[in-house]
């Protein structure tokens, strides 16, 4: 049985990855700060909850992870959509801490185990890492930094059989991403996905993660940009029906079932 560590596993893409990998037969360690949510999910999927803050994680907290084949760095997110001239520096600090320094810390902690297992690191960045957009200054900067970290690490691991992949999701509709971004303003969060015919779900990204992770050990997918068909580029979002003939995918888990 292969072992995966997923950060940010208490919601969204992290939760989706934990659920899907567990269903696919992986032993899953779920990591996040919110004890109750994390323990409930871990119980449901027969996984192992480790309550920690990725920005301050210590070796002693991950002692139970004696072996690791896959690290998925999912913890992160966006805060605010303010123009640079009005941006809140505390929000930027927080975004850098979770998205960038959290990825750095968890990677540093688990790299020796991943080298020992000839494993795989998958960093979940964002299409926001590919260029700035209005109001995205802090988030785009943080995701660009996380992307740069991933690229540097891949090069530094030259000659070492560890796979390093960056997954760059576009519009993914998770219950919390936009809600957090807009400080709990549900109307504003809802408007982001208004009339978008099938934005991605957490499970869609989880499928990409599982597919990459389950490729043969010598196959490194460097990076993969994943958008819904309705979003041809960051600013090319189509709102309206796409006239799908195919029924929407069946939701396997609560991650696709709206607000929790």
Q: Establish if 127 lies at the interface with ligand 8X3 (CB under 6 A).
A: yes
DSSP bridge partners of 7: 31
The nearer residue to ligand 8X3, 51 or 226, going by C-beta atoms, is: 226
Q: Interacting stretch for ligand 8X3, rule CB under 6 A, among 13-21, 52-60, 85-93, 163-171?
A: 163-171
Q: Establish if 6 lies at the interface with ligand 8X3 (CB under 6 A).
A: no
CA-CA distance, 160 to 217, in Å (whole number)?
12
**Residue tagged active-site, from 29, 92, 96, 139:** 139
Q: Interacting stretch for ligand 8X3, rule CB under 6 A, among 112-120, 126-134, 158-166, 240-248?
A: 126-134
Cβ atoms < 10 Å from Cβ of 20: 22
Cβ atoms < 10 Å from Cβ of 70: 26
Q: Interacting stretch for ligand 8X3, rule CB under 6 A, among 50-58, 90-98, 109-117, 165-173?
A: 165-173
Q: Interacting stretch for ligand 8X3, rule CB under 6 A, among 29-37, 124-132, 198-206, 245-253?
A: 124-132
Catalytic, 193? Answer: no
Cβ atoms < 10 Å from Cβ of 31: 31
The nearer residue to ligand 8X3, 7 or 126, going by C-beta atoms, is: 126
CA-CA distance, 181 to 150, in Å (whole number)?
24
Q: Establish if 73 lies at the interface with ligand 8X3 (CB under 6 A).
A: no
Q: How far is the CB of 128 from ligand 8X3 (least distance, A)?
A: 4
Q: Applying CB under 6 A, which of residues 128, 202, 206, 230 lies at the interface with ligand 8X3?
A: 128
The nearer residue to ligand 8X3, 117 or 234, going by C-beta atoms, is: 234
Residues near ligand 8X3 (CB under 6 A), total = 9
CA-CA distance, 66 to 49, in Å (whole number)?
15
The nearer residue to ligand 8X3, 80 or 119, going by C-beta atoms, is: 80
The nearer residue to ligand 8X3, 16 or 170, going by C-beta atoms, is: 170
The nearer residue to ligand 8X3, 119 or 136, going by C-beta atoms, is: 136
Q: Applying CB under 6 A, which of residues 97, 126, 146, 207 lies at the interface with ligand 8X3?
A: 126
Residues in Cβ contact with 112 at an 8 Å cutoff, skipping those fewer than 6 apart = none
- For 192-205, b/e burial (b = at least 16 CB within 10 A) is bbeebebbbbbbbb
CB 65 within 8 A of CB 29: yes
SS3 237: strand
Percentages of the chain per state (helix, strand, coil), in multiples of 5: 40, 15, 40
Kind of pairing, strands 120-124 and 163-169?
parallel
Catalytic residues: 139
Residues that bind ligand 8X3 (CB under 6 A): 126-128, 136, 139, 169-171, 234
């Amino acid at each position: 049985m292969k072992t995966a560590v997923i950060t940010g596993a208490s919601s969204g893409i992290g939760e989706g990855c934990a659920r899907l990998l567990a269903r696919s037969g992986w032993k899953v360690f779920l990591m996040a700060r919110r004890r109750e949510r994390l323990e409930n999910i871990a119980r449901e999927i027969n996984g192992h909850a480790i309550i920690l803050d990725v920005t301050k994680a210590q070796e002693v907290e991950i002692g139970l992870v004696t072996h690791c084949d896959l690290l998925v760095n999912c913890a992160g997110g966006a805060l605010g959509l303010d123009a640079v001239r009005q941006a809140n520096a505390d929000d930027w600090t927080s975004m850098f801490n979770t998205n960038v320094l959290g990825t750095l810390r968890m990677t540093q902690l688990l790299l020796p185990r991943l080298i020992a297992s000839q494993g795989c690191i998958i960093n979940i960045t964002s299409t926001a890492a590919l260029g700035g957009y209005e109001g995205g200054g802090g988030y785009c900067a943080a995701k660009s930094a996380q992307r740069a970290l991933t690229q540097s690490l891949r090069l530094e691991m030259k000659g070492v059989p560890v796979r390093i992949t960056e997954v760059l999701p576009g519009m993914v509709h998770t219950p919390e991403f936009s809600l957090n971004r807009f400080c709990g303003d549900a109307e504003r969060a809802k408007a982001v996905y208004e009339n978008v015919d099938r934005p991605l779900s957490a499970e869609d990204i989880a499928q990409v993660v599982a597919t990459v992770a389950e490729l043969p050990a010598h196959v490194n997918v460097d990076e993969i940009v994943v958008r819904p068909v309705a979003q041809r580029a960051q600013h090319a979002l189509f709102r309206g029906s796409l006239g799908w003939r195919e029924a929407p995918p069946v939701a396997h888990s609560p991650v696709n079932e709206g607000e929790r």
